[in-house]
Amino acid sequence: MSPSINNCDLGDADLEDRPELNKMRCSICEDAAVARSSRSRKLLCSSHFMEAFEDQVAETLKAGRMIEDGDRIAVALSGGKDSTVLLYVLKKILAGEAVELFAITIDEGIKGYREDTIGYARRISEDLCVELKMISFRDEFGSDLDRIAKGRDQAPCTFCGVLRKSALNRAARDLGATKLATGHNLDDEAQSVMMNYLKGDIERLFRLSPRRPRPGLVPRIKPLRHIAEKEVALYGILAGVYPEAPECPYAHSSLRFEIRRMMNGLERDHPGTKGSVLRGFEKILSSAEDRPAVTPLSCCRICGEPSVGDLCKACHLLGRSR
């Protein structure tokens, strides 16, 4: 079977059954089409799909002024499809540029899941000759996620997200990174916008803005933020780097999971919904650009990391008090 988007495991609602693609031709070169680009609506063969994908990532980098000469870019590499594709495509696009690329993998300590994805992270960084730095929750916070989250009221994803973000920022900063690149795609971004709307959390909503430098925080860039999850997956398949990773055992317990299903349903019934959610958010951001939308940061009194109050979110969740 030729590679196609229908081979990707993208959950329950995001796939389109499009066997007719097998009989259709690329609108540029007449080779067999593998997908219809959601951006141009053109049918594309494997090589033109990949070229369009890389062009779109390069445009996102340029339009967002995400990378400058001399940057040392840390790529947050989980070993899942998004971060794997991100590392691969950045390595390709930035070849010959005056920037350095390295990867950071956080081992949260999730039994039966992270062993495989960490293996993928090691393999892809070796294949691409990219230096990889491994950090574990056990070393950083004294325990694995499985133990930290056991018997607690909050979902494991709450601990995982907060602690990983903290560990990534600290590692990137300690390793001299000037940018921290994450593999968030359009689906992730639309979900995050919707989650913050639903929670009424405007502060956190504005923190999604990729361009607000803050003291102690390595600026984050999200080069895949305009590209749909299924297109990231297809690119991974076509590039031969798609990892057949298992699903995290905690994934179904999060609010994000419910929002993902909802957004996939809306996208299926009203194509373009995810893109319009993100564009709407960006319009709000640009109209609010001059306002002090986010609370100034101080340093956590326990760990010294940037925090909104005197205790950072990681120390708060871990119940640290001194």
298-299 and 306-307 strand pairing: antiparallel
Q: Looking up tokens 């359009």, which residue turns up? A: 186
Q: Work out whether 248 is an interface residue with ligand SF4 (CB under 6 A).
A: yes
| Cβ nearer to ligand SF4, comparing 80 with 219 | 80
Main-chain dihedrals φ then ψ at residue 242, nearest 5 degrees: -70, 120
Q: For Zn ion, which residue of 21, 315, 317, 318 counts as binding (CB under 5 A)?
A: 315
Q: Work out whether 149 is an interface residue with Zn ion (CB under 5 A).
A: no
Q: Work out whether 306 is an interface residue with ligand SF4 (CB under 6 A).
A: no
Q: Work out whether 302 is an interface residue with Zn ion (CB under 5 A).
A: yes
Report in angstroms how near the CB of residue 318 gets to Zn ion at its nearest. 8
| Cβ nearer to Zn ion, comparing 41 with 322 | 322
Q: Looking up tokens 């995400």, which residue turns up? A: 66
Q: Any residues with CB less than 8 A from the CB of 54 and at least 6 apart, and which?
A: 89, 92, 93
Two tokens at 200?
Answer: 């009424």
Binding mask 29-58 for ligand SF4 (x = CB under 6 A): ------------------------------
Report in angstroms how near the CB of residue 230 gets to ligand SF4 at its nearest. 19
Q: For ligand SF4, which residue of 4, 254, 264, 307 counts as binding (CB under 6 A)?
A: 254
Q: For Zn ion, which residue of 43, 66, 277, 303 counts as binding (CB under 5 A)?
A: 303
Could you tell me how many residues of this chain bind ligand SF4 (CB under 6 A)?
9
Report in angstroms how near the CB of residue 156 gets to ligand SF4 at its nearest. 4
Q: Work out whether 194 is an interface residue with ligand SF4 (CB under 6 A).
A: no
| Cβ nearer to ligand SF4, comparing 108 with 229 | 108
Contact 195, 233 (CB under 8 A): no
Q: Work out whether 312 is an interface residue with Zn ion (CB under 5 A).
A: yes
Residue 160 touches which member of Zn ion, ligand SF4, none, C-beta under 5-8 Å by kind: ligand SF4
Rounded CA separation 38/41 (Å): 5
Q: For ligand SF4, which residue of 88, 120, 250, 281 counts as binding (CB under 6 A)?
A: 250
Report in angstroms how near the CB of residue 247 gets to ligand SF4 at its nearest. 8
| Cβ nearer to ligand SF4, comparing 191 with 307 | 191
Residue spans of alpha helices (H) in the chain:
46-63, 81-93, 114-127, 137-141, 145-149, 156-174, 186-199, 202-207, 229-239, 255-269, 273-287, 313-317
Half-sphere exposure of 276 (CA within 13 A, CB side): 7
Q: Rule CB under 5 A: which of 262-301 touch Zn ion?
A: 300
Two tokens at 208?
Answer: 């999604």
Residue 275, SS3?
helix
Q: Work out whether 157 is an interface residue with ligand SF4 (CB under 6 A).
A: yes
Burial status of residue 81 (CB atoms within 10 A of its CB: 0-12, 13-18, 19 or more): buried
Per-residue burial over 228-241, b if 16 or more Cβ lie within 10 Å, else e, is bbbbbbbbbbbbeb
Contact 193, 279 (CB under 8 A): no
Report in angstroms how near the CB of residue 249 gets to ligand SF4 at its nearest. 7
Q: Work out whether 177 is an interface residue with ligand SF4 (CB under 6 A).
A: no
> If we measure between CA atoms, which residue out of 186, 207, 205 comes closest to residue 279?
186
| Cβ nearer to Zn ion, comparing 259 with 300 | 300
Q: Work out whether 160 is an interface residue with ligand SF4 (CB under 6 A).
A: yes
Could you tell me how many residues of this chain bind Zn ion (CB under 5 A)?
5
Q: Work out whether 87 is an interface residue with Zn ion (CB under 5 A).
A: no
User: Would you tell me which residues interact with ligand SF4 (CB under 6 A)?
Assistant: 108, 156-157, 160-161, 248, 250-251, 254
